[in-house]
Structures are given as structure tokens and as C-alpha cells.
Amino acid sequence: MALALVAAPALAAAQTPAAPDSAPPPIEDNSFLVEEAYNQERGVVQHINTFSRATTGNGWLYTFTQEWPVPTQLNQLSYTIPIARPEGRGASPRFGDLLLNYRYQALAHEDLLFAPRLSAILPTGSASAGTGLGGAGVQVNLPVTAVLTPSLVSHSNVGGTLVPRGKTGDGERLRSANVTLGQSFIWLARPTFNVMLESLFSHTSNRVTPRGAGDAVTLSNQSFTLSPGVRYAFNFRSGLQIVPGAAVPVTFSGGDADTGVFLYLSFEHPFARTR
């Protein structure tokens, strides 16, 4: 699985703590690769850790995302910090491009939710090391969550990323544009245990302008990822919920198939008394 230069934030949902004698609440977290449309509830913060690595090569990607309601579920602010080790002998881990995210809960029907997200991309990564795109950019995603049955939920995404004035590792000017389409299905086998199947299509177009003389060259790449996974929720009387998960994504690109591993760990808890 190729490591992304710009990490898409894993934006997840807040949980309502269960009363001691009630049944545990169902997991309403995000998918691993596909964003959901639940904003954080008032008074609840979430800390999300992800780690992905291909089974071949030595590259990996870690991201940390923290989400806050501002101050209610209608508006959500978050940030995503990626740390990546690029492929290549002797490569060392470095920070990637930081994302600052705003999401609006435009629709919150019982069985249908919509929460568009706008993100600013800050060039904190290294273009020369392969962990950044060398310029500021913007990312938009339109996630829709649908409760199909009491035990089956789907998440659908349309998203885009644009870095208009980046640079390559060789210092050439770079204009990078990416479009993604995502779809996931979540089977609630139990309230605290989910089986997941995600798919993600990505098209990237990079326009590179050489330094000095020379015409610009456009390089395009398409990939399709299919990822089965599972997750489990541990609910505590304090309101803390811990959700570990794992998936095995298989990415098809250029006639090749690359199998990877994806690990997920979320901590969600109240930070203020709610009314």
C-alpha cells in the first residue's frame, strides 16, 4: 500500500456513555479509510491513532487526530499530525503535512447524515524526503452516512485535494490534484464488535515544471483499495470508550497489487459536564 503524502484525517463520531445497567452503545466510529458523517457530541473529545504499512518495503505512516465540538455537535474542529517513514534504504521518520479541519453537521436525520469538511494543508513535511508536497493546499470531503438496517451502516465519500504551488524533491515546481471516491459497509455483528469492508478509488494528477528551460510534464496515477477489517469497543463507567481495530488493505495500481496492514486505536471521553 503506497504511503500517502497528505494524510486524510480519520474523523470519527462521539459516543453517548451508557448507563451502568443499560446495553452498551453501538460503535459509531469512522471507517478506517472512508470518513463518516458523525460530528463529536457536546462535551466529548476523541483522540485517534492510525498506523499503516505495506508488507513489502520499509515505509510506514502514522497519524494522530484530535477532534473537538465547538461547542456543540453542529461544528467540529480537529487537526491531523502525520509522521511517515518513506520507502528507501536509510530513510528516517519525518513529519508530514499538517491538516487543520473544520466540519459542519449539515444533516443529522436518524438514518441519514451529511457533514462536509474543509481542511487547510500546511507544508510542514519534507518534499526532499518524500513526506510532503512542498506547499500549502486545501482538501474538501463530502461524507454521507446511511443507516441501511439496524445492523448495517454505509459511509460514502467524494473528496478532493489541491496543492497549487508545491515542489518536488528535486526543487521543481509541482501542482498536485487528487480526487477520491470511497464507500464502506459496516456490519454491527454486536453493539461492540463490527466487521468492515471498505473501498477507495484515488486519481492523482501531478504537473511538474522543470527548473530553467523545459515544458511542464503531467503525471497521473490511479489506484483502487479494497480493505476488510474489524474493530471492538471497550466501554467504561467513566464514559471512556477505547476502540482498537485492524484491517488488511489491498491496493491495485498500474497492474500491481500491494497488500498492507492498517492498525487503529481511538480514545474518546467526556471533557466537560453536559446538559
Query: Is the confidence at residue 78, as pLDDT, over 70?
Result: yes
CATH classification of the domain holding 237? 2.40.160.40
- Check residue 56 and give its pLDDT: 78
Number of domains in the chain: 1
The verdict on residue 102 lying in a domain is: yes
Higher pLDDT, 16 or 268: 268
What is the average per-residue pLDDT within 162-180? 94
What is the average per-residue pLDDT within 84-89? 84
The verdict on residue 9 lying in a domain is: no
Lowest mean pLDDT among 54-68, 133-147, 205-219, 226-240: 205-219
Lowest mean pLDDT among 12-26, 39-53, 78-92, 181-195: 12-26
Q: How many Cβ atoms from other residues are within 10 Å of residue 158's Cβ? A: 14
Higher pLDDT, 245 or 12: 245
- Check residue 100 and give its pLDDT: 98
The verdict on residue 203 lying in a domain is: yes
Q: For residue 13, which of 1, 25, 23, 22 has the smallest C-alpha distance?
A: 25
The verdict on residue 24 lying in a domain is: no
- Of the pLDDT bands very low, low, confident and very high (cuts 50, 70, 90), residue 213 is low
- Show the domain range for 181: 44-270
Q: For residue 192, which of 72, 23, 45, 34 has the smallest C-alpha distance?
A: 23
The verdict on residue 31 lying in a domain is: no
The pTM assigned to this predicted structure is 0.89
The verdict on residue 23 lying in a domain is: no
On whether the CB atoms of residues 76 and 88 are closer than 8 A, the answer is: no
pLDDT digits (tens, 9 = 90+) for 263-272: 999 999 998 7
Average pLDDT, the chain: 89
Lowest mean pLDDT among 87-96, 112-121, 215-224: 87-96
Query: Is the confidence at residue 9, as pLDDT, over 50?
Result: no
The verdict on residue 13 lying in a domain is: no
